[in-house]
Chain A
Amino acid sequence: MVDRLLGTLLRHLVLLAGAALMLTPFVIMVSLSLKPPGEIFAPEFRLLPEQWHAVENYREAFTRVPLARFLINGLIVTASIFAAQAATALPIAYALAKLRWRGRQAAFALVLLALLIPPQVPAIPLYIAMWKLDLLNTYAAIILPSTISVFGIFLMRQFFRTVPDDLIAAARMDGLGEFAIVWRIMLPTALPALAAFGCLSFIWNWNEFFWPLIAVQEERLMTPPLGIAFFNNAEAGTNWGPLMAAATVTTAPLALAFLLASRAFVRGVTMTGVK
């Protein structure tokens, strides 16, 4: 009895320590975003500022760079990417999971293989392609390379395999075509998995720095991570207070999205993992 209590206690301690480790950078970020420059570099760390500087920092973040514009850009880009990824992943995953065709195994092997390729590898060919298509410095340049997510295909395929074949046979008898089956039968049953994938897709693409940095140079198209980099100025030095304020504003939608979708997220991930 005591042993078990002790075990539980220990387990929670370890988990708490882990959670604290993960949360610390965020706490420091929020804390710094509230402080004046003098306090930021003070030798001892305090959680809350002695002299509140939040309004100045956040005003600076929104005025020195068009942070609101960046946030809107981030939203446009992530939403478009997810819509495109869902529109491609669902039919492809259905074809891989439920249709019988020559080369299906090979196609699935290619999907798995593509999972292993780091995104930096195709960056140069993609850049050249975008240049040839005269798409550099457009939303399309940021969105197009991410429209097909092999991870999304993989995740949805694993989920679709658990859908009974009879359901699809019934839909075919009822007169649904293959695309109608994807949208009307498979999609509703796969919503938790799709929500999980949506969460991941949103987090990745919202935080994506590397490709947008290459694809766009104009300020009006920049996504939040690029915008934050503005505060990191080699000549004037880094302006930490507004930088942290901008970072907080940028991170907030992610935290919010995850909190809202966390149940569906966990459900979706466990459902695809454990059959």
Chain B
Amino acid sequence: MAVASVDLIGIGKRFGATEVLQDVTLRAADGEFLAILGASGCGKSTLLRILAGLEGADRGQVRLGGEEVGHLRPKARDLAMVFQSYALYPYMTVRQNITLPLQMRRLSALQRLPLLGRLAPGGRALRAGITADVDAVAGPLQLSALMERRPAQLSGGQRQRVALGRAMVRQPAAFLMDEPLSNLDAKLRVEARAEIVAMQRRLSATILYVTHDQVEAMTMADRVAVMQAGRVLQVAPPQHLYDEPASIDVARFVGSPPMNIIPALLDETGMVELAGHVLPWHAQGRAGARVMAGIRPESLVPRPGGLPATLKRVERLGAEAVLHCALPGVEDTVLARVETAIANGLSPGGTIPLMPRRVLLFQEAGLRMECRPHPAATPAMEGALG
């Protein structure tokens, strides 16, 4: 089958009393790289296993290229999976590992027999084709020199590439990847990220990529689905997810350092009142309504007329620094990301005015509310908004 779209429709799954997945609906278009992002235990791996056919869903449909495949066994689904542990066959060489899926697909049971299979009619040409295809996959992955080694004789990065090769060799309708990079060290992970993305572009493959690492999801995927407690919270392109989180959970999960979530009120004109200050941001809501204001650390800038923050600690990251601050009446520490030059002039205990350049507003229940800069902002504020 050629590259295909993947649809999960209303998937539900429970293990005993725990509801692992609740009405999950996701679509990965033909050739799309969809990351499924969530903390461990959110059900993302189970979702992938249901898609693969390794696990049965209690409710819902799985479609591949528009066709219902929920009743099919894993091998009939034409999907390839890359596992976190790589799951290479330990007693087979690299070549045998990559060859096996093609043997299972292209050779008859008779042709697969050891020794005897070589005599079966038609086997020779098929075997030659398999060898050629395996070599064609191994080359770009730099595995050609390692073909006769066993997995135990390979480094982590090499094993990861073998796992990738084993998935690629049969040109599946879609790739399923379950945290494929989490066993690699930081440097290799960056390289492997680029490799997988390059592979995806080259094959224009459909990839469903499960990860708990937001950097992986943000840097690799066309779209990211954020999952929590068995539900999909939001599906959006990475930048959109960052700029326009649909709920407070997504806002908290995406971004590092995390978004500041600060309790606020709406005054009688609908302006946002935060830590005793009225901010030039306006929302529809009744006066006195409790809301949550979300402010990214990089959109808090030191500027006169801002919120009076007390500096608690400066965390230096080289090019920039993270200011850990306290705001009057706000329990949680507020983070601001500034250039190192600005941080150099500050010392803990001092006060700095921090002006939010952008405020996202959430209902107390967590859903996003519309919130716009107020046209009647003071000139100082307007400068801040620019």
Contact = CB atoms under 8 A, between A and B. Distances in A.
A271 interface: no
Interface centre among A167, A173, A188 (most CB of B within 10 A): A173
B49 interface: yes
B81 A170 contact: yes
B166 interface: yes
Contacts of B166: 170, 174
B75 A189 contact: no
A265 B54 CA distance: 35
Interface string B90-115: 11100000001100110000000000
A172 interface: yes
Given A172-B75, A174-B166, A189-B91, A166 B104 contact: no
A177 to B, nearest CB: 8
Nearest to B84: A166
A174 B101 contact: yes
Contacts of A177: 75
Interface string A174-203: 111100100011001100000000000000
A166 B75 contact: no
Contacts of A175: 75, 101, 104-105
A183 to B, nearest CB: 10
B75 A170 contact: no
Contact of A172 (B54, B85, B90): B54
A188 B75 contact: no
Contact of B104 (A164, A174, A189): A174
A173 B74 contact: yes
Contact of B74 (A164, A172, A180, A184): A172
B87 interface: yes
Contacts of A185: 89
Interface centre among A172, A175, A177, A184 (most CB of B within 10 A): A175
B89 A167 contact: yes
Contact of A164 (B54, B80, B87, B101): B87
Contact of B52 (A171, A173, A188): A173
B90 A189 contact: yes
A176 B87 contact: no
A231 B84 CA distance: 64
Interface residues of A, number: 17
B207 interface: no
Interface string B324-335: 000000000000
Contacts of B49: 169
Contacts of A188: 89-92
Nearest to B77: A173
A171 B92 CA distance: 13
B90 A170 contact: no
B79 interface: yes
B62 to A, nearest CB: 14
Interface residues of B, number: 24
Main secondary structure of the interface of A (DSSP, over half): helix
Contact of B87 (A170, A180, A184, A189): A170
B104 A169 contact: no
* Residue of A166, A185, A189 with most chain B CB atoms under a 10 A cut-off: A166
A265 to B, nearest CB: 19
Contacts of A164: 85, 87
Contacts of B87: 164, 166-167, 169-170
Given A174-B75, A189-B91, A169 B81 contact: yes
Contacts of A189: 90-91
Contact of A173 (B80, B84, B89, B92): B80
B83 interface: yes
Nearest to B166: A174
A189 to B, nearest CB: 6
A176 B90 contact: no
A173 B104 contact: no
A188 B81 CA distance: 22
A202 B88 CA distance: 33
A164 to B, nearest CB: 6
Nearest to A175: B104
A176 to B, nearest CB: 6
A143 to B, nearest CB: 26
Nearest to B101: A174
Contact of A166 (B74, B83, B91): B83
Contacts of A166: 83-85, 87
Contacts of A167: 87, 89-90
A174 B165 CA distance: 12
A175 B90 CA distance: 18
Nearest to A163: B90
A173 B79 contact: yes
Chain B CB within 10 Å — which of A169, A172, A174, A185 has the most? Answer: A174
Interface centre among B53, B79, B91 (most CB of A within 10 A): B91
Contacts of A171: 89
A34 to B, nearest CB: 46
13 contacts: A166-B83, A166-B84, A167-B87, A170-B88, A171-B89, A172-B73, A173-B52, A173-B80, A174-B75, A176-B75, A176-B104, A185-B89, A189-B91
The 10 closest A-B pairs by CB, nearest first: A175-B104, A188-B91, A170-B87, A166-B87, A175-B75, A174-B101, A172-B74, A166-B83, A166-B85, A173-B81
